Amino acid sequence: MNAGSNDVSVFRIRSDGLELTDVEDSQGVLPVSVTIHGDIVYVLNAGGRLGDVDLVTGFVLSSQGYLTPLAGSTRQLSQDNTDPAQVGFTPDGSALVVTEKATGAMGQIDVFPIDRDGLPSPNLVSTTSQGAVPFGFVFNHRGRLLVSEAAGSVSSYTVNLDGTLTEVNSAVPNGQIATCWIAGNRGRIAFAANTGSSTLSSYHVSSDGALTLLDPVASYLDNALPIDAAMPRNGRYLYTVNAADGTVGMFAVGSDGALTHLGDAPGLPVNDGAQGIAAR
C-alpha cells in the first residue's frame, strides 16, 4: 500500500529478492491495508481522513503479477472518517473484516459477506468492539477472530455466516499502552505489539478462541516503538517493525510462548514511514 500516492504495488518473490510487477491505482484515497484470498485482492482506503470516502475495493491478481479492478466490488464503510485500520479475509474467504477505530465510543468491526464472484454484500454488518479502538486482527486455526485494541487489550469473536459476530472473549487487558497490532500463526500463542509501551504481550489462545494473558511484557523493545508484527507459518519466529530505530526485531518463539531476542536487522527509515510487515 502506497498511502501517499494512492496506489498499490505488486512484487514477485524471487530467490534473490523482490521484482516489481505492477503498480495500480487503489480506486480510492489513502490506501492503508490489503488482503488476498486465492486471486482476489481487497484494498482498504481510509480516505475519510482527508475529506474523501472510507471504502474497500477489489482486484483480480493474475499469475503474472498484474492487478485488474474487480467490477462492482467497491463498498463504503459504515460512514466516512472512521479511521479504519485493517482489512482481511476470513480463512475460508467467505467474508471481509474491517476494523473502524473511530466509530462511536468504542469503535466497531465491519463484516462484508463475500459471494461466489468475490463481491461483498451491499449491506455491511457492524458490531461494536468489546475493547476500545479495535486495530489489528488475526485468525486462529479454527477461524476465530482475534482483535487487538489500542486501549490495551485483545478480544476474540466467532464470525457467523450472516456477518454478525459472537463474542468469545471480551477485552483481556495487558496493562500496556497502544496495543495496535497482533500476530499469530493460527496456533495457540498470539503476540500483541504495544507501540506506546515498546513491549510485546503474549496470549494463550484455546481452540475455541478463548484468550488468557500469558505475559504482559513478553519482551521489552527498549523504546523501539513496534508498529507491526508478523509470524511465519511454522510459528517458530516473530518479527516486529520498529519505527524509532528503523529495524526489524527478530525473536525465537518457545513452545510455552517465551521469546528469545535474536537481534535487530537495520536498514528501514527511522521515524519516517516504515509501517507494515508480512512473514512467510
pLDDT digits (tens, 9 = 90+) for 25-72: 999 999 999 999 999 999 999 999 999 999 999 999 999 999 999 999
Q: What is the mean pLDDT of the chain?
A: 96
- pLDDT over 90 (residue 274): no
pLDDT for res 198: 97
Residue carrying C-alpha cell 466509530: 103
Average pLDDT over residues 62-83: 97
CA atoms within 13 A on the CB side of 249: 28
Name the CATH superfamily for 129-280: YVTN repeat-like/Quinoprotein amine dehydrogenase (2.130.10.10)
Q: Is 49 helix (H, G, I), strand (E, B) or coil?
A: helix
Average pLDDT over residues 11-30: 96
pLDDT digits (tens, 9 = 90+) for 141-154: 899 999 999 999 99
pLDDT digits (tens, 9 = 90+) for 159-173: 999 999 999 999 999
End-to-end CA distance of the chain: 18
Q: Which of 203, 200, 201, 213 is nearest to 241 (CA)?
A: 200
Q: Which of 167, 215, 205, 168 is nearest to 184 (CA)?
A: 205
- Over the Cα atoms of the chain, what is R_g? 18
Q: Is 36 helix (H, G, I), strand (E, B) or coil?
A: strand
CB 54 within 8 A of CB 63: no
- pLDDT over 80 (residue 22): yes
Instruction: Using alpha carbons, list the distances in angstroms from residue 239 to 5, 7, 144.
Output: 27, 26, 22
pLDDT for res 107: 98
pLDDT for res 280: 85
pLDDT digits (tens, 9 = 90+) for 97-152: 999 999 999 999 999 999 999 999 999 999 999 999 999 999 998 999 999 999 99
Torsion angle (degrees, nearest 10) of CA 158, 164, 169, 174: 110
pLDDT band at 85 (very low <50, low <70, confident <90, very high): very high
- Phi and psi at 36, nearest 5°, equal -140, 140
List the Cα angle 118/181/99 in 5-degree steps. 45
Strands laid side by side in the 153-159 sheet: 134-139, 145-149, 153-159, 165-173
- pLDDT over 80 (residue 271): no
Task: Please give the grid coordinates belonging to residue 106.
Answer: 468504542
pLDDT for res 187: 79
CB 32 within 8 A of CB 7: no
Task: Please give the grid coordinates belonging to residue 148.
Answer: 487487538
Instruction: Using alpha carbons, list the distances in angstroms from residue 41 to 11, 37, 57, 181.
Output: 14, 7, 8, 21
pLDDT for res 185: 77
The strand pair at 95-100 and 247-253 is best described as unpaired
pLDDT digits (tens, 9 = 90+) for 183-219: 997 779 999 999 999 999 999 999 899 999 999 999 9
